[in-house]
Amino acid sequence: FDVVDLIRTKRDGGVLSDDEIRWLIDAYTAGTVGDEQMAAMAMAIFFHGLDARELPTWTTAMIETGERMDFSSLSRPTADKHSTGGVGDKITLPLAPIVAACGVAVPQLSGRGLGHTGGTLDKLEAIPGWRADLDNAAMLRQLEEVGAVICAAGSGLAPADKKLYALRDVTGTVEAIPLIASSIMSKKIAEGTGALVLDVKTGAGAFMKTRERSAELARTMVELGTAAGVTTVALVTAMDAPLGRSAGNAVEVAESVEVLAGGGPADVVELTLALAAEMLAAAGVDADPAAALASGRAMDTWRAMIRAQGGDPDAPLPTPKHVEVVTAPASGVIQSLDALAVGVAAWRLGAGRARKEDPVQDAAGVTWTAGVGDTVTQGQPLFELHTDTPERIDRAREALADAVVIGADAAEPGPVVLERIA
Ligand code: URA
């Protein structure tokens, strides 16, 4: 095939054959199709999409560039969760041990954060001694013995996606539903999970800002998963306000441990239990996740999971060298709290990174004392800014300047789960 012909076809709104797609993905992975050519193709797909035949072929071709994991030797069914990324989204931390405590193996291959949404591995790395890198044998052993593992995805899964995602990131072609769906699902299908629950965020702090686009992404991914034999369900969930009362690394671990101890913010508990129920149902296990939480079994599993990866669940979490308080600018009821502003503030304090190779600060982040519907008094502490590098504080304050709207009217937090797509 001539790659320029394929680009012209897609540019002009045509469809690619299965053979053309497989050839293109292989040639790009091997380096015989150049970045500039794939960038043009990604832009053509951005404008014209991939149809119902092209998209599964594209996804399968990406899977076939790498290895597939196999969990069939495990004595329990497997279920995984993927979130499209939100602010304060620490849900994986309490969720994996809750679901594992109910008898399902949870292989949670996770990533590090880029931009304003945090990465699960960055959060867990705040725990002294904890390691994200496990080989496949260690991962399988931990799944059998503990039931849950949260670790770094090896580079062997869908290498085509790794290359293509990095290219999309620098060519303005991330925000295309077929490209996002095939990117996420190629990795999840290659991982070999039997069941998958997708948490597709929508709103100001999410990557998809509108409910319609989020639901379309969710439907597209559910179709890809189902066609590949993975029981796939999606929840579209609200990301206008940040989740819980913390965004950052150590602060989100602390909040997750509160949830596992039976406390924690209501929205975090609600979303965790909703996703847990979906994972159990998708894996075909009849168990009550709330009971696993209330009995302390989920906390026991958390502790075993952290220890199995070298971490000390009893070690004090790192504390920041500097803490600054931002007070409420007025008295009244919080009408809204802007997830994106909070995410940017946490990022600027050092919780996230601007480039892939940047380090993050374990102790950096933002906590807040009140959420939508709560009454505050002018001058009361509202946010705490945590950082090791105080020169970052002014920029974090700027990010938060208009983050909270306080008014006289009563207000209520909106629903967390907006829609279920199966
Ligand atoms: N996450 C991914 O893994 N891929 C995308 O394209 C977007 C988000």
Q: From the alpha carbon of 184, which atom of ligand 1 is closest?
A: 3
| Interface predicted TM-score of the whole assembly (ipTM), two decimals | 0.94
**pLDDT single digits (tens) 59-73:** 999 999 999 999 999
Domain identity same for 342 and 366: yes
The amino acid occupying position 114 is L
Give the distance (Å) from ligand 1 centre to CA of residue 184.
5
The amino acid occupying position 267 is D
Q: Across the chain, what does the average pLDDT equal?
A: 96
Decide if pLDDT at 397 tops 80.
yes
Cβ atoms 339, 87 nearer than 8 A: yes
User: Where residue 354 sits, what CATH number does that domain have?
Assistant: 3.90.1170.30
Domain identity same for 298 and 355: no
Domain identity same for 129 and 181: yes
Domain identity same for 194 and 100: yes
Domain identity same for 342 and 226: no
Give the distance (Å) from ligand 1 centre to CA of residue 377.
41
Ligand 1 pocket check: which of 165, 171, 200 to mutate, most ligand atoms within 8 Å of Cβ? 165
- The C-alpha atoms of residue 111 and residue 118 are separated, in whole angstroms, by 9
Ligand 1 neighbour 198 (Cβ under 6 A) = no
- When pLDDT is cut at 50, 70 and 90, the band that residue 111 belongs to is confident
In degrees and rounded to multiples of 5, residue 46 shows phi and psi of -55, -45
Q: Whose CA is nearest to atom 6 of ligand 1?
A: 180
For residue 11, what are the domain limits? 3-49
Ligand 1 neighbour 115 (Cβ under 6 A) = no
pLDDT at 214: 98
- When pLDDT is cut at 50, 70 and 90, the band that residue 88 belongs to is very high
- When pLDDT is cut at 50, 70 and 90, the band that residue 405 belongs to is very high
**pLDDT single digits (tens) 72-83:** 999 999 999 999
Half-sphere exposure of 347 (CA within 13 A, CB side): 24
Sole residue written with tokens 């940047």? 358
What are the angstrom distances between the C-alpha of 401 and each of 226, 327, 341, 344, 397? 44, 11, 9, 12, 6
**pLDDT single digits (tens) 126-151:** 999 999 999 999 999 999 999 999 99
Ligand 1 neighbour 177 (Cβ under 6 A) = no
Give the distance (Å) from ligand 1 centre to CA of residue 39.
16
The amino acid occupying position 176 is A
- When pLDDT is cut at 50, 70 and 90, the band that residue 114 belongs to is low
Cβ atoms 365, 351 nearer than 8 A: yes
Q: Which residues are known catalytic residues?
A: 82, 161, 168, 183, 187
Residue 336 lies inside a defined structural domain of this protein: yes
Cβ atoms 207, 167 nearer than 8 A: no
Domain identity same for 293 and 329: no
What are the angstrom distances between the C-alpha of 257 and each of 117, 160, 265, 303? 20, 37, 11, 10
Ligand 1 pocket check: which of 174, 180, 185 to mutate, most ligand atoms within 8 Å of Cβ? 180
Q: From the alpha carbon of 165, which atom of ligand 1 is closest?
A: 6
- When pLDDT is cut at 50, 70 and 90, the band that residue 197 belongs to is very high
Straight-line distance from the first to the last Cα atom of the chain, in angstroms, rounded to the nearest whole number: 38
- When pLDDT is cut at 50, 70 and 90, the band that residue 411 belongs to is very high
Domain count, the chain: 3
Q: What is the pLDDT averaged over residues 176-204?
A: 96
Ligand 1 neighbour 180 (Cβ under 6 A) = yes
Long-range contact list for 388-391, CB < 8 A, 24+ apart?
A: 388/320, 388/321, 388/322, 388/350, 388/361, 388/363, 388/364, 389/321, 389/322, 389/350, 389/361, 390/321, 390/322
- When pLDDT is cut at 50, 70 and 90, the band that residue 153 belongs to is confident
Ligand 1 neighbour 182 (Cβ under 6 A) = no
Decide if pLDDT at 116 tops 80.
no
Residue 34 lies inside a defined structural domain of this protein: yes
pLDDT at 99: 98
